[in-house]
């Protein structure tokens, strides 16, 4: 049975899901979509109508964290091309960390709403863009503190929290790239650069043709 993933390349939630899949042996076919033209096939299996959506056998997994964790828990790699054995085992173990889950929850439920208002400040005239950025910076400051202790958020190699959070910090940095490059969060800058420029993320960000054009099946991981 063919498994497939509805995704949108630039969505941080979809990036998170694809990271988990690239760290597993699960290799679904990609259905790259346009958010303004969502296919009826996706809407039929997912009430939330947003990416990512993984159709797995007779099941639908429609949350990025669930896809990430499911892929790594049930389809672990024997040999990871991006991490050594110890580092990869640390990723698997970190999925169960309540401390890491709490930080990811804060990213999704506290930081992300401020990030959206900062990015689309013209849609939210109640505050200035700089005021929205200051609210988002509270979370960035927390990350900076953690990264003053070790290279990544919880260890000296990436773990679950790093992979789950950095696509959103990437989005934050892109709102005003010049400001971000000159801001005080030096450790966050270094951390983000290491993850964005990693071989893993380069694979995660491979471009796929739009599925609606020809509806051809293309595996997520090209051999």
Q: Is the pLDDT of residue 89 over 70?
A: yes
CATH code, 85-197: 1.20.1050.10
The pLDDT-based confidence of 1 (bands split at 50, 70, 90) is low
Sign of dihedral through CA atoms 173, 177, 183, 189?
positive
**Pairing between β-strand 4-7 and β-strand 29-32 as defined by DSSP bridges:** parallel
Written as six digits, the tokens of 31 are 């259905």
Task: Write down the mean pLDDT value for the chain.
Answer: 96
Q: What is the pTM for the complete model shown?
A: 0.96
The Cα–Cα gap between 144 and 152 comes to: 10
Question: In angstroms, how far is CA 126 from the centroid of its own chain?
Answer: 29
* Start-to-end CA span in the chain (Å): 19
Tokens of residue 11, six digits: 């969505």
Chain segment 153-175, per-residue pLDDT in tens = 999 999 999 999 999 999 999 99
Superfamily of domain 4-82+202-219: Glutaredoxin (3.40.30.10)
Residues present in the chain in total: 223
Sign of the Cα pseudo-torsion (70, 71, 76, 82, in order) = negative
% of the chain exceeding 70 in pLDDT: 99
Q: Which residues are registered as beta bridge partners of 54?
A: 5, 61
Domain ranges for the chain, please list them. 4-82+202-219, 85-197
| pLDDT above 90: residue 19 | yes
Average pLDDT over residues 136-153: 98
Residue 222 predicted with pLDDT over 90: no
Is residue 65 scored above 60 in pLDDT? yes
Q: Residue 6: enclosing H or E segment and its boundaries?
A: strand 4-7
Mean pLDDT of 217-221: 87
Q: Judge whether 68 and 20 are in contact, CB under 8 Å.
A: yes
């Amino acid at each position: 049975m063919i498994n497939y993933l509805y995704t949108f390349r630039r969505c941080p939630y979809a990036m998170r899901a694809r990271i988990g899949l690239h760290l597993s042996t699960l290799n679904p076919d990609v259905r790259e979509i346009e958010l303004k033209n969502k296919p009826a096939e996706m809407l039929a299996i997912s009430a939330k109508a947003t990416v990512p959506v993984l159709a797995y056998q007779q099941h639908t997994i429609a949350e990025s964290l669930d896809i990430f964790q499911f892929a790594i828990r049930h389809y672990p790699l024997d040999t990871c091309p991006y991490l050594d054995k110890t580092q990869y085992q640390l990723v698997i173990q970190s999925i169960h960390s309540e401390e890491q889950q709490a930080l990811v929850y804060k990213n999704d439920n506290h930081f992300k709403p401020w990030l959206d208002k900062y990015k689309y400040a013209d849609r939210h005239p109640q505050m200035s863009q700089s005021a929205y950025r200051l609210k988002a910076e509270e979370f960035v400051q927390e990350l900076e503190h953690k990264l003053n202790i070790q290279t990544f958020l919880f260890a000296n190699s990436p773990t679950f929290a790093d992979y789950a959070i950095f696509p959103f910090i990437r989005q934050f940095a892109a709102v005003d790239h010049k400001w971000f490059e000159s801001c005080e969060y030096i450790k966050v800058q270094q951390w983000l650069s290491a993850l964005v420029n990693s071989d893993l993320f380069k694979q995660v960000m491979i471009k796929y043709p739009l599925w609606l054009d020809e509806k051809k099946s293309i595996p997520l991981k090209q051999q």
